Amino acid sequence: SQQGEEDPQALSIQEGENATMNCSYKTSINNLQWYRQNSGRGLVHLILIRSNEREKHSGRLRVTLDTSKKSSSLLITASRAADTASYFCAILPISSGSARQLTFGSGTQLTVLP
């Protein structure tokens, strides 16, 4: 399967703590993206990291990518109750032509307790 697989499936932490989610995949990628989905809503793009990048930051988010291990991690620092959501990694495989698209994993459900 080309899709990313997140770990853990569910994570529950206290407000103010850091949350780390991992993603593993099996194919060569152009980039890897993380999305958030609040209950009953669409997915929101959080951050994109290209295959030649190792780390990227956006606000309280930090993403790392290890292409040799085919894995990525998403760190949310100083978590808030509003961060409660499902988080998905999605991979864009290397492919010629326009017939390529993001493949999503099954997500990590993050619960931040106040």
Partner 1 sequence: EAGVAQSPRYKIIEKRQSVAFWCNPISGHATLYWYQQILGQGPKLLIQFQNNGVVDDSQLPKDRFSAERLKGVDSTLKIQPAKLEDSAVYLCASSEGPGGGYGYTFGSGTRLTVV
Positions touching partner 1 (CB under 8 A) are: 3, 30-31, 33, 35, 40-45, 48, 88, 92, 95, 97-107
Separation CA 20–CA 16 (nearest Å): 13
56 in Cβ contact with 49 (< 8 Å): yes
Separation CA 91–CA 4 (nearest Å): 6
Tell me how far, at minimum, the Cβ of 106 lies from partner 1, in Å: 5
Separation CA 58–CA 73 (nearest Å): 14
- In the complex with partner 1, which residue's Cβ is closer, 22 or 31? 31
Tell me how far, at minimum, the Cβ of 16 lies from partner 1, in Å: 28
- In the complex with partner 1, which residue's Cβ is closer, 15 or 51? 51
